Structure 1
Amino acid sequence: MLKNYDCIIIGGGIAGLQAAIQLGRYKHNILVIDSGHGRSSICRGYHNILGWPDGVSGNELRELGKKHAEKYGVEFIKDKAVKLENHKDYFTVTAEIQGTFQTKTVFLATGLVDRLPEIENLGPCLGRSVYVCPDCDGYEVADKKTIVLGGGNTGAEAALTLTYFTDDIVYINHDQKQMDDGLVLKLKKNGIPIIWKKITKVLIDDEGNFNGVTLEDGETILAERGFTGFSGNKMNNELAIQAGVQLNESQHIVTNPRTKESSVTGIWSGGDLIAHSEQVTISMGDGSQAAIWIHKRLMGEKRIEE
């Protein structure tokens, strides 16, 4: 006999945790399956979240969210969900180590994985002095010399976006990908030099903050902040595909804007898996919104169509 839940949440990041808290407060029987490798786990500091004027790390936010959800009886297992099957009246979720579970509903919050090259010292700077999202952290580079570590058009566009905050930018095309002529012209007009060399090392100061980079030929370029601009982020949508969930052209899950339910009745989703906004606060909203409608379904309400 498989252990049965009202809802299994796959992914213990921001969207998943917010859904878990809301569903736990409804006193439903909830399981969260989390591999511990979500995008929020690598960020050392979010600075645009209500209530955290001095910033909060992704790990602290996750730890507090887990503690909060457990207060309401939500169960957690550290494992990777590898299989999701739709049996019409219920779903089964199989985890890599702890086997198969049964559930009435599913919330997919598996997010995405940023493509970041293996550059020495890059990881420890993320979210502290090297950033990935101009909407979240463009403010952090205001009036500071900034190096954009990127590739091709993606890096060029990131550099141009940051001109709103600073006019002292260097773009290092680490991937050495070709760029559209129009973007090259815009970079030139904005006084942004393009360096076509690979980065071998991120330089850090005594406090562990970004201080510049060393290039493949040994040249050193100093700066106060770094920003990444690499293409090829990977959507963690394998489980959705297994269950027959509809995806859009960007490989995000298509959901009802009101309920966050996918094309498959009984499967909801939120966070980076459904939108390109990549914002913690929006992920929180998705989790809460989906949980409300999951509760309604568990109480017998029918599916809401767009």
Structure 2
Amino acid sequence: MTIDTGTKYDCIVIGGGIAGLQGAIQLGRYKHRTLIIDKGVGRSTLCRSYHNVLGWPDGVSGTELRRLGRQHAEQLEVQFMEDEVVRLLRSEDGFVAETKSGGDKLATATILLATGIMDRYPNLPGLERCFGLTVYVCPDCDGYEVSGKQTIVMGAGNVGASMALTLRYWTEQLTYINHEPGISRISTDVREQLADQDITLIEQPITEVLASEAGEFHGVRLQDGQMVEGERGFIAFGGNEVQSGLAAQLGLERLENRHIVTDPRSKMTNVPGVWAAGDVGVHAEQVTIAMGEGSQAAIWIHKELLKRGSKTLHSCGTT
């Protein structure tokens, strides 16, 4: 669909992941003029299978959800732009978004920030092809998948150790590999907890994830050449990037960890006209929650646009 840069949008959704797509679908069903600006890479593009989504008992990949979500949104006349918003400005009656390409200044009455987070992990051969299939990041989403299986936690310091201790709920066969032993140290009390839970601790960098082309995890190779066998893996390196830099430009309230603070009922931020949904907010890192927050935000964006008497509402017969 052609982007009309001379048009003022009812809402610009920044981020085309799960929360952003669900919000745009809801806005499209209200017949609001909606634009999604997405750079095409995010957490959902890495996950090859979500296992805890209603209606997908055998799992569904992030790319498939995004494909279906975009198809759904386009049927509702939601527009898409593959680009990255680098600057947000307030205008007399809304906001202006400037993109990385430099050619577009897009006016909008409201904004939905759905920029998410990105996990920190080392560039290990074989790792990414396992994400969501046999290597996971969220115990609430996928702890069940390691039930009774030999599981290797690849992580850093106390963060990785905490993940291993959490996974003890599902399996007794646990090895924690501290990939950054010289940088990320494990405290004495946490070491004692690992020992008490019979979790094997290895402190040595990983050089390779042993995996099939289909994403079957078989273990890791360590710096000294040793191979550690496993059936499932988890990563927990800490330092994940909360992608809320645009929020700072508009003066949105953020926590110390950079997550955006929103009203729990409406998902609106402290800046009128700006909402946030999904992992960029105070989050649970659940795809289903991201969906819900996207819809929740869109409902309240609609209420606000009705209150303002948005000019573009003529498309659904509302004045």
User: What TM-score does the superposition give when structure 1 sets the normalisation length?
Assistant: 0.96
- In the alignment, structure 1 residue 29 sits paired with structure 2 residue 33: yes
- In the alignment, structure 1 residue 131 sits paired with structure 2 residue 117: no
For residue 219 of structure 1, report the CA deviation from its aligned partner: 0.4
How many residues of Structure 1 are paired with residues of Structure 2 in the alignment? 302
For residue 251 of structure 1, report the CA deviation from its aligned partner: 1.2
Give the match's secondary structure for 1:182: helix
Q: Quick one: distance in 1 between partners of 2:29 and 2:11?
A: 13
What does 1:1-12 align with in structure 2 at a 5 Å threshold? 2-12=6-16
The one-letter code matched in structure 2 to 1:122 is L
Find the partner of 1:46 among 43, 46, 50. 50
- In the alignment, structure 1 residue 101 sits paired with structure 2 residue 113: no
- Deviation digits for residues 222-261 of structure 1 (CA, Å, limit 9, x no counterpart): 1100000111001101110001111012211111111100
The one-letter code matched in structure 2 to 1:124 is R
For residue 86 of structure 1, report the CA deviation from its aligned partner: 1.4
Give the match's secondary structure for 1:44: coil
CA RMSD in angstroms comes to: 1.3
For residue 38 of structure 1, report the CA deviation from its aligned partner: 1.2
- Deviation digits for residues 200-226 of structure 1 (CA, Å, limit 9, x no counterpart): 000014643110000001000111000
The answer for unaligned runs of 5 or more in structure 2 is: 310-319
* Shift >6 Å, 4+ stretches: none
For residue 179 of structure 1, report the CA deviation from its aligned partner: 1.2
Partner of 1:154: 159
> Percent sequence identity over matched residues?
52
Q: Quick one: distance in 2 between partners of 1:238 and 1:210?
A: 35
Q: Quick one: distance in 2 between partners of 1:266 and 1:99?
A: 21
- Deviation digits for residues 134-189 of structure 1 (CA, Å, limit 9, x no counterpart): 00000000000000000000000000000000000000000112112111101001
Contact map agreement 2:129 2:214 (CA 8 A) in 1: no
Find the partner of 2:76 among 51, 59, 72. 72
Contact map agreement 2:209 2:217 (CA 8 A) in 1: yes
Give the match's secondary structure for 1:260: coil
The answer for unaligned runs of 5 or more in structure 1 is: none
- In the alignment, structure 1 residue 83 sits paired with structure 2 residue 87: yes
For residue 2 of structure 1, report the CA deviation from its aligned partner: 3.5
Q: Quick one: distance in 2 between partners of 1:217 and 1:243?
A: 49
The one-letter code matched in structure 1 to 2:28 is G
- In the alignment, structure 1 residue 216 sits paired with structure 2 residue 212: no
- In the alignment, structure 1 residue 290 sits paired with structure 2 residue 294: no
Partner of 1:122: 127
The one-letter code matched in structure 2 to 1:56 is V
Contact map agreement 2:141 2:286 (CA 8 A) in 1: yes
The one-letter code matched in structure 2 to 1:135 is D
Give the match's secondary structure for 1:154: helix
Q: Quick one: distance in 1 between partners of 2:151 and 2:130?
A: 14
